[in-house]
Amino acid sequence: MDVAKCFLRGISPYSQSKAHFTEKLPKEKADDYEERTWMERIHVDEESGFVCIPPMAIKNCLSECAKYLSMQVAGKGKNTYTKHFEAGVLVDRPLCLGIKKEDIKGEWLFVPSKGDRGGGTRVRKCFPLIEPNWSGSVQVFILDGTVTQDVFTTHLEEAGNFIGLGRFRPRNNGFYGRFSVEKIEWSSQ
């Protein structure tokens, strides 16, 4: 099994939209509730206390990229790497950004009330916004030997260009959450 320690650097802002279920106070207006609770949309690593990118966000970014690229596995006919990334790649810890929750600024937007693009009714919402040049490292376990180091590197680089992370990422018609791969340190277990 290969282990890739991936050092990523943001090349566009990164925004999160974690679901939260904070109760509304009695007689609290929608804007007041949003002002009070918008920071609950931030993912925070319990161990370090820093803002983080959840492990499944990175894993899903790689799986989405495998679908997007549809690269064929050499010698396997029309088979692509998609199922190998979906079942054979593991990210078990978040990517911590070294930023405290209190240091994050909000971005106020007028968005569809039900969260569906093009929805008729709109409301004001605030989302956490992390400026470009965010960075951190994440460890990725490659359990499936079909995913070679070169194949993994290509997919991770293209994931940063075309898939992205977080809210309003390229895969969802946005431009936030794009990243570059600074380096990858390889080891075996």
Q: What is the mean pLDDT of residues 66-95?
A: 96
Work out the pLDDT band at 116, boundaries 50, 70, 90: confident
Model confidence at 181: pLDDT above 80: yes
Give residue for tokens 């075996």.
188
Q: What is the mean pLDDT of residues 120-138?
A: 93
pTM for the full model?
Answer: 0.92
Counting residues of the chain whose pLDDT is more than 90, the rounded percentage is 91
**CA gap 7, 1 in Å, rounded:** 19
Do 176 and 168 form a contact (C-beta atoms < 8 A)?
Answer: yes
Q: What pLDDT does 115 receive?
A: 73
Q: What pLDDT does 34 receive?
A: 95
Q: Nearest to residue 59, comparing CAs of 129, 174, 147?
A: 147
Q: What is the mean pLDDT of residues 79-93?
A: 97
Average model confidence (pLDDT) across the chain: 95
Work out the pLDDT band at 27, boundaries 50, 70, 90: very high
Q: What is the mean pLDDT of residues 162-184?
A: 97
